[in-house]
Amino acid sequence: MPINYYIFTALALFSIGVIGVLTRRNAIIIFMCIELMLNAVNLLLVAFSKLHLADMGNAGAKVLNNGTDAQLFVFFIMVVAAAEVTVGLAIIVMMYRNTHSVDVNFLNRLKN
C-alpha cells in the first residue's frame, strides 16, 4: 500500500482530534480527541518505519534493527497515553462528584 494513504489517514485523524480539542467542552470527549491525535502519530511512525525498512531491504543493505525503532516509540506513546487517561479520568471523576458536570469551563472557577 502506498505511503500516501497512511499519511492522508493520519492527517485526517489528527485534524479531527485537533478540531475536537479546540471546539468541545466535555472533558471526556477532549480526552478521546487527544487519543485520536496520538494514534495518528503512531500510524505515521509505523508507516514510515515500514517504508524505511522496505528501502533498506531493496538497497541490499544489512538491516540491523528489523524496524523495531518505531514500534518502541509507539509502545512508549501508548504508555504515556494510558498514564494520561488514568490521571485525567481520576480528575474528571472527582470534578463530576463535586459539580455534577464535566464541562471544562468549570475548571476556570477553581482558580479562586
Q: What is the pLDDT along the chain (112 residues), one digit of tens a residue?
A: 788 999 999 999 999 999 999 999 888 899 899 999 999 999 998 888 888 777 666 655 555 566 677 788 888 889 998 998 899 899 889 988 988 888 888 777 777 6
Cell 497515553, residue located: 81
Question: Could you write out the DSSP letters of every residue in 24-68?
Answer: --BHHHHHHHHHHHHHHHHHHHHHHHHHHHHHHHHHTPPPSSTTH
d(CA 90, CA 82): 12
Cβ atoms of 72 and 36 closer than 8 Å: no
Cβ atoms of 62 and 53 closer than 8 Å: no
| pTM confidence score | 0.78
